[in-house]
Amino acid sequence: MSHPDPLSGLKAAESRLAQAVSAYIPTLGVNRQSLEAGMRALGLSEGERDLIAPHGAADIAAILWREHDSVLLSAETADRLSGMKVREKIGYLINLRLDAGAADEKLATRLMGFFALPVHAALYHRLLWQTADTIWRLAGDKALDENHYSKRVIVSGILTTAMMSRLSRGRDAQVEQVDRNIEQVMAYEKFKAKLPVKPEEVLLNVAKSLGRLRFRNAAA
């Protein structure tokens, strides 16, 4: 006997409120005003609003971001990835995610402006990391060494710069930005593979040496 997901009702409520609020964000911004307008449109009480979005507009921004991520996990996307090489998968998934996020460009512009504020930087980085991790996992990446982190940092950077290109110069600029960035990454990886010592190993050894020097001086 299957049991219902106890969080499914809350997730559905989150989605309904986020979609209602998103209708007001292009004109009002990502703030308390748009949140309250969406709340009134759904006929929610303040208690229901606070249950769904206890952190206010920041929760709405996070819900919308994660809903844009959902396109990556569809059955159609899985079918499209079949037979692609890893590099092709990464490019396809990045562009797919960017297209979902920029489907409503006015909304996307407001969301990116919200995330650009220093007070929201930590939230943006968490969401960006989750998206980059999803992309790499769908591409088949299973690395658990230092490359696990560097790959996600790279895709996070591509997502941010390509979204800026999309919002300022259109989709063709987005695709060109993604292709160019991936090409630069591949060129660097080929260069790094030929080195007798990897750059990250050099940095690690430097850190170890500085640590030994520090503690030796402290003990003296």
96, 71 Cβ separation under 8 angstroms: yes
75 lies in some domain: yes
Q: Are residues 33 and 93 in the same domain?
A: no
103 lies in some domain: yes
65 lies in some domain: no
The model's pTM is 0.82
| pLDDT tens readout for residues 198-219 | 544 544 555 555 555 555 544 4
Q: Quick one: tokens of 101?
A: 């996020």
User: Given this model, what pLDDT does residue 189 score?
Assistant: 61
Number of domains in the chain: 2
Q: Are residues 13 and 111 in the same domain?
A: no
Considering the chain, what is the average pLDDT of its residues?
Answer: 86
10: pLDDT strictly greater than 70: yes
Taking alpha carbons only, the member of 14, 128, 124 closest to residue 22 is 14
Q: Are residues 102 and 27 in the same domain?
A: no
15 lies in some domain: yes
Q: Which domain holds residue 22?
A: 7-54
Taking alpha carbons only, the member of 46, 48, 55 closest to residue 16 is 48
In the numeric block, the tokens 């500085």 are attached to 210
Burial 133-170 (b: 16+ CB within 10 A, else e): bbbbebbebeeeeeeeeebbebbbebbeebbebbbeee
Q: Are residues 136 and 47 in the same domain?
A: no
Helix (H, G, I), strand (E, B) or coil at 155: helix
Q: Are residues 35 and 117 in the same domain?
A: no
